Structure 1
Amino acid sequence: MTDTVDKAPAPAVPPEQIKAIPVRHYGRWVAGAVVIAVLALIGIAFSNANINYGVIPDYLTDGTILSGAWHTLYISVLAMLLGLVLGVILAVMRMSSNPVTSTVAWFYVWFFRGTPVLVQLLIWYNIALVFPTLNLGFYKDEMNQVMTPFLAALLGLGLNEAAYMSEIVRAGIQSVDEGQTEASHALGMTRAKTLRRVILPQAMRVIVPPTGNEYINMLKTSSLAYVVQFSELIKRSTDISSTSLAVVEMYFVASIWYLALTSVFSVGQYYLERRYARGSTRSLPPTPLQRLKKNLRMFNSFGRPEVTR
């Protein structure tokens, strides 16, 4: 009988390490190169154009241009407030069970969305041709004295905006579940209190994003007010170009101011949306700065794949 010799178990062989090799997206590099080439060609074309770029920084802070930028911001805020208040009223009228109020609201939206803003501004500015005198019983005056360029711009922009805001508010109200209204009525709340305390706060998450877009659009649409002689940014720029003959340069100055104003309010819109989106399962899309940081992190880690077992 032979003695059996216990042998030590063989050491475990570790598994081979796996290298994760990232996929090369050559199409992205080609597309990026093409875009850069096109942008370079556009830059070369404008650099060789007959444009005096040296006067643009001087006019950016000119008193006349600053006054025009302030008037643009001023009329945009007031017209947006008028459109928002009237839009809420029209939305409630549109959803009312009263056939008269709902029909009037529908006709309002149909008319103001179906006619150009420029035509509406011109109608308000020339309304004295139709009604030479404004007589309200307690107040009477010549229409030319009442309908100033500011009032014509405010009514033309604000009443047109109300038609779009009414549809935005109506969509936000209808996004709230009907059970919220029924529960509020069961607690003894009136329709007005239910709308103010229950429906509208929940509808704000749907109303705020398109409202921010509408205001940014209002900043640009206010440029049409120059046809009624309102001293906004385009009107001021045109006045300067008529004496300095720097036509294109002044349009560049106005464009820079519009870009600055819309950029500031775009940032504010993002944080306002994030505030009203609290509790939602969906997250807001990243900002360009956040997306740039993410791309830089991906670029720094390119070619250094993680090693996993």
Structure 2
Amino acid sequence: MDSADLNVLRSVLAWREAGQRVLLYTVVQTWGSAPRPPGAMLALRGDGMLIGSVSGGCIEDDLVARLRDGRLDSPRPVVALVTYGVTREEAARFGLPCGGTLRLTEEEVGEADWVRELLRRCEHHELVARELDLASGAVSLAPASREDTLSFDEGHLRAVYGPRWRLLLIGAGQLSRYVGEMARMLDFEVLICDPREEFAFGWEDRNARFVPGMPDDAVLAIEPDERTAIVALTHDPRLDDMALLTALESRAFYVGALGSRVNSAKRRERLAELGLPQEAIDRLHGPIGLPIGSHTPPEIALSLMAQIVALKNGQVAPSRSPQQVQTA
């Protein structure tokens, strides 16, 4: 779940707690070149205010119009299905690509206890499946796994929600500032660990959370899961290796360390001498990043985040060639 989804649900909860009427829309099916994928959400308040997105904007305009012209005031089911783009004319009218069609659930939100509980579980870094009975409007929550996906069978919707992706940076130096900024733009939660107090200056307004303690303690404290990336960027083996010894045996989907190929090879030798199994050492990304010829801190940050996002999205990221090294 990204911050846009979280913001939609937070707004749903706040609006219902304030006594506002709320309609929640979820994309459940698409055909052709639909603008938003299944699972995309939009919340519409009773006065026409909205948050989230299910299209490029034209469908949002129509949803607001349906509310304001009274079409949603007559007796209607708690959950309805709305389809856009069945005909070529509709596709053109609502800004869908030619042949694109999408189907939405239109859900009148009553009691918001399920929203509060879902948000609580996400904040505790749990994956949650939300099951909606279209006939009754009843909602139930259940644990989910990474393999679970959205499913819809006309009578039931099962959507999976989860915590934001996280990036733990070991080191608060210059490169970490570029990496952190790019990571936030890509909707990662950014965590920082650096026991060197002098490096904390200037992070106050960067929307990153510092994890106290030494690097190995910080890795344990955040309980890395399959949505966590960990990168050591201090260039100090006394700090980086501590984090790597713990991170490489965690469930983090990405573990990397800054350095040239020569330094990365030496690091692998040190980790082996410290007793880390070869299987864990083989998980280490080093040198970090995609091979774009990066040399400056912003270029290295771009290279690193491109590699992390590629792996996050299930793509196989190519390794660097021997000629490509990092000097920052």
Global fold match (TM > 0.5): no
Q: TM-score, normalised by structure 2?
A: 0.19
Q: TM-score, normalised by structure 1?
A: 0.20
Q: Which has the higher contact order (CA 8 A, sep 6+)?
A: 1
**Comparing both structures, which one devotes a greater share of its residues to strand?**
2
Which protein is bigger by CA-based radius of gyration? 1
